[in-house]
Every structure is written in structure tokens, then in C-alpha cells.
Chains A and B, each alone.
Chain A
């Protein structure tokens, strides 16, 4: 089973539009791991087959009746999740330390459904995605479960490729999304901010020993910066597998709920070339 993750460091560089276009170009199980802001389903338009409740970390709750307001829990909680003898669920990490230190056993842990994992059919094939309820923690854990489910689907259907849409950033859900993949595709943009972020996500890939390639999106909005990306990648020995010009058609396609390959034949051709290069990397 081969797994590819599409990541970017900086958000909004066009990751999801690119992943969605691959759906027209290859057979794969697609997995949206951007679980706190998923967008891929807006293009793939899934017909949901299975909806699996996801239980995140348990959270602490203090029984007001029993609580003597001694403050032991507040002092012990390293996540500052308890204030005025109430647990702020959005800050609680579920570590249970407060239950250990409470002298009157006023605290217990509760399990809650904090999101869902969906398996679905789309006009392109199989799709798995996760959706965290607003403001819930532990997205790394949900990412791991989305990927697990995607593997199960792929095995059952005899598909040997999984394409993962990773969230932005370099922290917990990103590490969970790109870890143990065969290739990570970094979508960069020729802006100072995006180059800085690209360098950091490339270091993360290197840190976890994952092979990386770069796609430069909107390369013509600042060609000088694009050259900078090219120089940087050359020095590091990282291949640039494609350069995509800025084109309003990407947004138009998104507004229509289509991927760019479906929407515009010319751009489809260049996306196909990019995909072929990526596929060659997997061989």
C-alpha cells in the first residue's frame, strides 16, 4: 500500500484544490485529514456510506455537591483547564491528574462523542474523512483513525494507493497526517510567508525521514520568489514536480463544486503531467 500526503505548512496555498484534481487522474482512496477545517468533501460531494462516532479524550467534570473548593485540582492541572472550580472542557486534555489529587473524589472523567469519521462514495471512488465537532481537542488522534479507516477501505477494495489531504501547520495533526507516508507533496506559493513555511514543513518531513517533492502554485504572481523556491529546492535536492500559474478558474471551479480537471481542459493537461511525475516518484 502506498500513501501520499499533500501538505503545505502555510494554509490556503491550494492543497485541497490540487488533491481534488488528483481524484480525476488516478484511482485511490482519498482521506481528508484536515479534521478541524475539512474542505475536500465540498468538491468530492460524498454519498455517505458509514458514519462512525469518534470518541476523543475524556474530559474531567467536577461534582459541585462534593467539591469543597480546596483548589488542589487547579494547582495540579498543568493545562490551566480548571478555573473557579469548573473544568473548561475546551482546555481539558483528559490527563486525569485532577482525579488523583482531589481529596473528596469530586472529579470524574466523561467520554463524549466529539466528532465523526465518514466513509463515502463519490463520483471518483472511495473517500474517507473526519469531522471534529467545533472546538474539540485531540485532532491528531482523529487523523490516525481516519487513516486507519482509509487503509481498511483500500484493502477491502483492492486499491493500493491512499492520498491524504493534510492540515496546515507542522504540529500534532500534521505529524499524524504525514507520518509513515511514502511521499509528501508540499504545495508552496511564491510569497515570503509561504516560502518560510515551506522550509519548516520540509524540515519536518526530513525529521521524520519522509521523501518530499514540491509543487509551486500561482508561480507567476511573483516570479522572483518562484526562482528563490527553485534555488532552495535545488540546494536541498528536492524535486519540483510542477508549477501552476495563477488562474481565476481554480476559484470558479470551486464555486461550482468541481475540480479543475473537470472544469478546464487546458489546466487538466498540466495537472495530468504533474500527477504523472508524482506517480513516477512512487515507483
Chain B
């Protein structure tokens, strides 16, 4: 079973939930927040690199090129500009789709690989896989896709999604059996939760909501969930102790044993 923990708004406690849930249920953890991976701060596994992630990039043979502009006209990302006797290529815009190579009639384009990130694996109390995007690279999705190739449906796999509602978050939810949306009880939390719910509904994945830092804001999130018939899976109260443990990189199920039960019960209910 694949459970993705997502959130819409950042900093609501996604990683906290994913890590504690994985520890409580002895599941495999996949850190899909490849822009800012944090889960291993809590798991503290000795990570080993298992794979590089590449994006294909064209290169141009100016001896064969006739400067016909077909490639530039085709490229949907404006990554190529053809001058009368030169080609300008903008790698940061290139999606690696490979289209320019197909349209070139003079065999002037070859494709090379450009490294954009890495996949790591390690084990401490639980097994963890982590993807990481290289600094300055824009495309997180191919790394998440690669990371997901290590997910085995037979096991319980917890995916920690990136924040937001953009393509990387969607890629982390795609193919999941269940999505846990972590939010906080504030107007910001509610606003971004609504967007996230729209996405999960579009993807037709069953989901439930966890309200973290329960008690800090207002009743908006709870009211909204009630009125819309959305299941609230768990409420984690705002507590100085949880916040302190978090800041020091300690999963709170380890120090507050009653929470281990709560996570196991929630997992049983989801199953």
C-alpha cells in the first residue's frame, strides 16, 4: 500500500507525520521533497547514493547544421535560438523531451545526459529512500519519478510529498492508494488545503486530513471538513514539547509512546 503525505501549505508538519507514521508502522519511507529533503534528519540513517538522475539534453553539430530553424520552431520551451551561423541553447529551459532531435533532418543533433540529481538509500529503524535535486536545477519531477521506481506496492510505503500544489506534489501523489493531507488550523492552512483537496479529488485518490498544531488558530478547517464530509484522521495538538522535539530532529513517537498507538490505529483505519 502506498500512502502519500501531502499538504498544500508548506511547514504544516508533513514530514513529522510521514516520519512518525513510518516509525510506528515499520513502513518504508520515501522522501519526495527532493528540493528540500528533511526526513532523514529524523531517521538518521547512513545514506548511500544508489543512482544519479539525468535529464537528456541536445547538443548541436554545427558542421552538419544548416540553420534551418526547425528545432527552434518545434521546441515548446524556447530552449533553442538559431542565428544565421550559430545556435544558442538554454539548458535551464530544456525539458529533455527529445523533440528537436526527431525534427532535425540533417542529423545535427545528438543527445547527452545532464545530471540533475541523485537518489539515496539507507536504513536505521526503518528503510529510507531520498531524492535530491541539484542546486540551480529547476526540474524536480524526474527525480521524484525515479525515486518512485523504488516503491514496491507489496510493502507499506510512505511518501513524503513536497509542499505546494504544483507538479512535484502531484507527481508524489500520482499512483498512491491513499493521501493524507496535513494542515494547520489557520486561514492559510485552510486556503491551501482546499486547493490540495481539489487535486486529490481530480486524481480520484481516497484521502483524509490531519490537523497539526491543533488549537493555535481558528475552527475554519474543522468546520470545512465537517460540512464537506471529509474525514479528519487525527488531530495533533499544539505542544511546546512536540515543537522542541521537532526542532532537535527527534520524531515525537519515540518520546511520547501514546502517539505510537495513535499512528498505528490511524493506519489500521486507512487500510
Contacts and interface: CB of A to CB of B under 8 A. Distances in A.
Interface of A: 8-13, 16, 34, 36-37, 39, 42, 57-58, 76, 78-80, 90-91, 93-97, 100-101, 132, 134-135, 137, 139-140, 167-175, 189-193, 196-197, 200-201, 203-204, 207-208, 221-222, 225, 248, 251, 254-255, 257
A175 B137 CA distance: 9
B206 interface: no
B246 A191 contact: yes
Given A78-B96, A93-B97, A190-B247, A11 B164 contact: yes
Contacts of B188: 16, 39, 42, 254
Given A90-B170, A93-B95, A171 B137 contact: yes
Nearest to A100: B102
A254 B217 contact: yes
B239 interface: no
Interface stretch (B21-29, B58-66, B190-198, B257-265): B190-198
Contacts of A191: 246-249
Contacts of B198: 134-135
Contacts of A135: 165, 170, 198-199, 202-203
A206 to B, nearest CB: 8
Contacts of B256: none
A40 to B, nearest CB: 10
B248 A222 contact: yes
B83 interface: no
Interface residues of B, number: 64
Given A58-B76, A193-B38, A196-B41, A36 B164 contact: yes
B30 to A, nearest CB: 17
B145 A197 contact: no
Nearest to B10: A11
A140 B203 CA distance: 22
B118 interface: no
Given A200-B135, A221-B247, A169 B140 contact: yes
Given A10-B38, A192-B41, A170 B191 contact: no
B237 to A, nearest CB: 14
- Chain A facing B: main interface SS: loop
Nearest to B96: A78
B143 to A, nearest CB: 10
A149 B141 CA distance: 28
Contacts of A173: 166
Interface string B212-238: 000011100000000000000000000
Contacts of A193: 15, 38, 41, 246, 249
Contacts of B140: 169, 171-172
Contacts of A257: 187
B126 interface: no
Nearest to B166: A36
Contacts of A168: 10-11, 35-36, 163-164
A192 B165 contact: no
